[in-house]
Each structure stands twice: as structure tokens, then as C-alpha cells.
Amino acid sequence: MRQALHRLVVATKGKGLVEITEPIRAWLGGQSIATGLLTVFCRHTSASLLIQENADPDVRKDLEAFFEELAPEGRERYVHEIEGPDDMPAHIRAALTQAQLSIPVESARLQLGAWQGIYLFEHRRAAHRREIVLHLIGE
């Protein structure tokens, strides 16, 4: 059994979904592990990860709009506002999504469905540099 570890830095432009499938595939292709399990981990409490449809951009728009309604911003709406009015809604959105994903690897390829992509979901208004840890284990 072998392992590989990598840190992927993703620059966001503010709130929204950023597809990160291709940089993950590129890194995976350089490893010598054909069969295994890839863990994708987000090291932040105001951003998260999703596996979602990557064919129709309207899916992203609808997801972003849904989360805006589900956890809206608003002064005096939340107790925690130390980093601004978008901070606590970002934590709520991250709590309702995922900090890590597990994806099977077969023949050195991610076993995603035909229309699935891996996304970093930025929940803050400002641009950020988010760190994603990739951990591959297998043979």
C-alpha cells in the first residue's frame, strides 16, 4: 500500500462554486497509484466541497441562490459577526455541506459519474486563497 499527499491552492473570486476537478485529475495522473481512494479535504470553516453536476451552469446558479436564501446575510441576525456580516452565514453553509470527499480511484482515474465534477464552494464575499489537501492511498 502506498500513499501520496498534495496541497492544492484554489484562488476564489468571492462567493460561488469553483470547479477543481481538472487540477485534481492532473495531480492524480502524476502518481503511481492505479487503484485506491482519494480523500479531498478543505482546510477552512467558511468554504466547503461538493460533488455536483458540471454540465449545466444553471445548476451552480440555483445552488448558490438556494444557499443565499437558506443562510442569508444580515446585520444583527447572528451573534458571531467579528469578521463581518458574511462570516456566520458562511459557517452555516459550510456546516450544511462537506469538508471532505472520498472518491474511488480505478485505473489511475477518478470514478466520478459522467456529469459529476468536484467543486470548492466559497461562502465568503471576498476573494480568498483556499487550501485543499489531497490524500491518495492505494496500490
Q: What is the pLDDT of residue 54?
A: 96
- Among 39, 65, 41, 61, which residue's Cα sits nearest to residue 52? 61
**Which residues lie closer than 8 Å to 50 by C-beta, 6 or more apart?**
17, 63, 97, 98, 118, 119, 121
Q: What is the pLDDT of residue 74?
A: 86
The H or E element containing residue 89 is: helix 87-96
Domain boundaries, position 119:
2-138
Give me the CATH number covering residue 91: 2.60.120.460
Q: What is the pLDDT of residue 75?
A: 77
Q: What is the pLDDT of residue 129?
A: 98
Domain count, the chain: 1
What's the pTM value of the predicted model, to 2 decimals? 0.96
Residue numbers of the chain with a pLDDT score lower than 50: none
CA separation, residue 55 to residues 63, 111, 135 (Å): 14, 17, 26
- How many whole angstroms separate alpha carbon 136 and alpha carbon 103? 9
Long-range (24+ apart) CB contacts under 8 A made by 89-96 are 89/123, 90/45, 90/46, 90/47, 90/123, 90/124, 91/45, 91/46, 91/123, 93/48, 93/67, 93/121, 93/123, 94/44, 94/45, 94/46, 94/47, 94/48, 94/121, 94/123, 96/67, 96/70, 96/71
pLDDT single digits (tens) 88-120: 999 999 999 999 999 999 999 999 999 999 999
Long-range (24+ apart) CB contacts under 8 A made by 79-85 are 84/125
Query: Cell 469538508 identifies what position?
Result: 99
Q: What is the pLDDT of residue 56?
A: 96
